[in-house]
Each structure stands twice: as C-alpha cells, then as structure tokens.
Structure 1
C-alpha cells in the first residue's frame, strides 16, 4: 500500500472516529465535531481526486450508426 493511500485511509478513519466521538457526549463539543468533519472530508477529497471521470475516455464507436442523408433521397 502506498503512503498516499495510507494517509487517505488514516484521514477518513480518524475523521470519522473523531466526529462520532464528539457527537456521542451529552454536551457536544462543536469544535471537535467540526475538526472531525473537516478531516473526514479532506480524506474523501484526496480519495476522489484519484478516481478518473467517466467522461475522460473518448468514445470509440457509437452503438447507433448514422449515415449522411442525401438531398435527393430526402425529397
């Protein structure tokens, strides 16, 4: 596992644990909850940055084939 993937995993897990811990108490610590959410979102952002978009690929061939319409046939 590369160091980048390990950092992403640690950020997501620790952010989730901190956010759940901050939410569990009777008196909720807003700053701790905010920090946990920020750490969680940072980890998710780093993970999603490496996922390629489905629109990046060039379409090789379309399922529907079209032919140019001749002006003589259109009449």
Structure 2
C-alpha cells in the first residue's frame, strides 16, 4: 500500500506535466492530474505521526 501512494504521486505529476506541455493545454486533464497527485500526498500525510503525543500534552497541563 505504501508504494501505491508513491505511484499515485508519480502518475499525477506526469499527467499534470503532460497536460501543461502542449500549446493547447487541456484543463480537465491538468485538474485530474492535480487531483491524483494531491490524493497520493494526502494518503502519505495520514501515515506521518503527530509531532506531539498525548502524553506530552498531559505533562504540560499538569505543570501549569
């Protein structure tokens, strides 16, 4: 599943670049490429843990 996210990002980027390359750019293809790219980035960002854990928040509240 991890590689699927990277593949989505690559496919979205290639589609967005391809639609932008021509003189007569197709905006619908560009939008589709950006959507696929952002979907891949969103899926990767869900797997990144939070900088602060719940135990850090509890310790800060007790000190105050």
Query: TM-score with structure 1 length normalisation?
Result: 0.71
**RMSD (Å) for aligned C-alpha atoms:** 1.8
Q: Quick check: which one's helix share is greater?
A: 2
Q: Return the structure number with greater relative CO, CA threshold 8 A, min gap 6.
A: 2
> Where do 5+ consecutive residues of structure 2 fail to align?
none
Q: Which stretches of structure 1, 4 residues or longer, exceed 3 Å deviation after superposition?
A: none
The one of 13, 29, 34 equivalent to 1:32 is 29
- The structure that has the greater radius of gyration is 1
Q: TM (normalized to structure 2)?
A: 0.82
Pairing 1:1-75 to 2, within 5 Å after superposition: 4-59=1-56
Structure 1: segments with no counterpart, 5+ residues: 67-75
